[in-house]
Amino acid sequence: MPRISLPAMHFAPEDYAGQLKLKSQRLQALLNPFGCPALEIHASPKIGFRMRAEFRLWHERSTGSKTDKRCYFAMFDPAEPKQPIEITEYPIACSTISQCMAPLLEAINASAVLARKLFQVEFLASRSNELLVTLVYHRQLDENWQAEATLLANKLNASIIGRARKQRIVLQRDHVYETLAVQGQAFRYEQCENSFTQPNASINEAMINWAVTHARGIDSVEIRDLLEMYCGNGNFSLPLARVFRQVLGTEISKTSIASAKRNAQYNRVKNISFVRLSGEETATALRGEREFRRLANISLADYDFCTVLVDPPRAGLDSKTLEFIAGFDNIIYISCNPQSLAENMSLLGKSHRITSGALFDQFPYTDHCEAGVFLARRAQ
């Protein structure tokens, strides 16, 4: 493969093993003060691993023309945020996205209706080759746009969504279906446009399998329950529901909670309840400090929690949530920011020890990675 330059990324598949080794050394050093054992290292495929991609759509006048414009996919280097970099190849994207980029761009350049004030293109794909394309505009979309976008959807064999200020037009559907294998069992997930989903399907599969494997090692786990905070669309919850007696998943996003409930139905998982609650609200409800109408059909007294799983935003957990989860015997902490994980461990390490740690290379060719630690309460 010829060398390709991608903004904010050292894309060099031939150097991937060395880059991953440096990441693992940095993460191990970050977690060593908390007694972390040798990390499990989960490598990503070197190319074709991203199931999501997002590009600016840049409009450039053709050479020598005052009217003709050419559109192209663009990204930006943080060091030069005002200078667009044309993206003609994106080898880290899955084949479904990569194969769609050129014909989509050709159609946009051939249609003034599709191109006018289009400023962003978003892709969401699944490993079964389903594709959702979102076109984002600085103008309101009309019937002409809808007619041309429908033809485009048929040509690309993709679902298309048009977005503008206070406007969202869904031509076919607003989601794709992804299937992940967890310890020999297939789980089917609805993944919605404009909602968080893990971008690297192979690494996501590795994370879920790691969490399930270590959850199975908890003593007497079969008669106790799991709380999952920041549960998203049920990504971890559904496979873990096979391990625990029952599961309560909480999440602030309405769209994600709706998907999680549908995903439980798809997978015939009946021992799980999903509720729209923030992390702070979850702690408040379980401490009995406030009643929520959203919990009217759920008896919290019926739960006997032994384990909590958290997968928080990059900022990590606030002090009140940390204090709350420190009350659980076992903590599964998935982090997209190892630095905030280490900061949180300064408190959690006082009551819990790390029994397993893992690096999940969700974002190859960057300094970012996903980390996981399994924490058990220290003996009194």
CB count within 10 Å of CB 47 equals 18
Q: How far apart are CA 251 and CA 190, in angstroms?
A: 16
**Structure tokens that stand for 351 in this block:** 């009551």
Is 336 in the active site? yes
Give the residue carrying structure tokens 């920011």. 337
- Reported for 173-180, long-range contacts at CB under 8 A and 24+ positions apart, including other chains, are 173/132, 174/132, 175/132, 175/259, 176/124, 176/125, 176/126, 176/130, 176/131, 176/132, 177/126, 177/128, 177/130, 178/51, 178/126, 178/127, 178/128, 179/126, 179/127, 179/128, 180/204, 180/205, 180/208
CB count within 10 Å of CB 152 equals 20
Q: Which residue type, as a one-letter code, is found at position 26? A: R
Catalytic residue (one of 94, 231, 336, 369): 336
159-164 β-sheet, strand order: 80-86, 69-77, 52-61, 118-125, 131-137, 159-164, 167-170
Catalytic residue (one of 178, 205, 228, 370): 370
Is 148 in the active site? no
Catalytic sites, residue numbers = 336, 370
